[in-house]
Amino acid sequence: MEHVLMRIWHLQGMIQEAINTEDAQVRKSRLDKCLEYHNHVFLLAADVDRIYQRSLFVHVLFSGVLFGIMGFSILTVGISVKTLSLFVVWVCAAIFSSLSAQRLYDGSIAIGEEVYNSKWYDRDYKFQRDLITIMKRTQKPITIHAGPFAEISNVFILTIFKTAYSYLTLLKASNN
């Protein structure tokens, strides 16, 4: 995900360079490369989504349950080094995946904002129309999915902890 994000940042620089070019033919040529590269970045992001979708689904499926069981274990047995280390590692994995997916989402939206905030209005009509194409593509941001049910984002962590709390209360109630 971070590799795709670096490509997005590179694309933003390329777009700004194309917009700021004074020669119309060079500007058009650079923008054509930007459009091609934009397609490539979106295809690369789709591949990342497809590749990691199953593993993230398993992660989402078991994280809440695992946290609930670990919390119940800590409440009933006490804190052990094994439980605490497993909890920390699993939380870090969830945080890193959600932060990366959120950064990718925000970066894909930022492309359109970068174009909009530039001096596109000083350019010819055909060039402006091509820039609108880029802005329209960024209206549907890049998302990373966890199976068919969830999109990974900052809300992902909250959902995991809400699920963990539900399992913890279920285990506490069944223990009494």
Q: What is the pLDDT of residues 129-140, one digit of tens each?
A: 888 888 898 889
pLDDT at position 108 is 92
pLDDT at position 1 is 87
The closest alpha carbon to 45, from 93, 94, 100, belongs to 100
pLDDT at position 102 is 93
Q: What is the pLDDT of residues 104-154, one digit of tens each?
A: 999 999 999 988 888 888 888 888 888 888 889 888 999 999 888 788 888
Spans in the chain with pLDDT lower than 50:
none
Domain ranges of the chain: 2-175
pLDDT at position 118 is 87
pLDDT at position 77 is 86
pLDDT at position 154 is 86
**Residue that has been written with the tokens 């459009």 in this structure:** 35
pTM above 0.95, yes or no: no
pLDDT at position 36 is 94
Q: What is the DSSP string of the chain?
A: -HHHHHHHHHHHHHHHHHHH--SHHHHHHHHHHHHHHHHHHHHHHHHHHHHHHHHHHHHHHHHHHHHHHHHHHHHHT---HHHHHHHHHHHHHHHHHHHHHHHHHHHHHHHHHHHHTSSGGGS-HHHHHHHHHHHHHTTS---EEETTTEEESHHHHHHHHHHHHHHHHHHHHHH-
